[in-house]
Amino acid sequence: MDEGHKIDNRPGVKVLIEWKGKRGWAYLSSLYGSYTTEYEFPRPKGEIGKFFCPHCESELTSSRKCEECEAPMVGISLVEGGKIQICSRRGCKHHLVEFEDLETELRTFYNTYKVF
């Protein structure tokens, strides 16, 4: 999360992305369901990119393929546990959230948002 770079008025999720031999930064919206993104270089729709951690530069991979377009999914681990998965194809809107321990995640959600 980058507090200094807002997407949808929230801290953006910074990643490195590579396609066609170019590597640069990308910012993704931290709001689940938002498709707002910003890229250092133009990235055409339909292009499949490789995503990397901006700190250690490890590739953000997943064993899943997109259920809609068959492109590789990108896995981004959540600090609280679980993982967000997004499609690596520009323009595809398939994504999902996986939780490691649903009971703990729901308790955290209820405590954070005071939902009873």
Q: Where along the chain do its domains lie?
A: 2-113
Whether residue 47 has pLDDT greater than 80: yes
pLDDT score for 115: 56
Segment 33-45, tens digit of pLDDT: 888 999 999 888 9
What is the token pair recorded at 43?
């990235």
- Which phi and psi (to 5°) does residue 76 adopt? -120, 115
* Confidence label for 109 from pLDDT (cuts 50, 70 and 90): low
DSSP symbols for 3-53 = EEEEETTEEEEEEEEEETTEEEEEEE-SSTT---EEESS---TT-B-EEE-
Nearest Cα neighbor of 66 from 84, 80, 85 is 85
CB atoms near residue 28 (< 10 Å): 23
Q: Give the length of the chain.
A: 116
Whether residue 113 has pLDDT greater than 90: no
CA distance 37 to 101: 29
Segment 51-106, tens digit of pLDDT: 999 999 999 999 999 999 999 999 988 776 778 899 999 999 998 887 776 677 67
Q: Are the C-beta atoms of 45 and 91 separated by less than 8 Å?
A: yes
Q: Are the C-beta atoms of 15 and 43 separated by less than 8 Å?
A: no
Mean pLDDT of all residues in the chain? 87
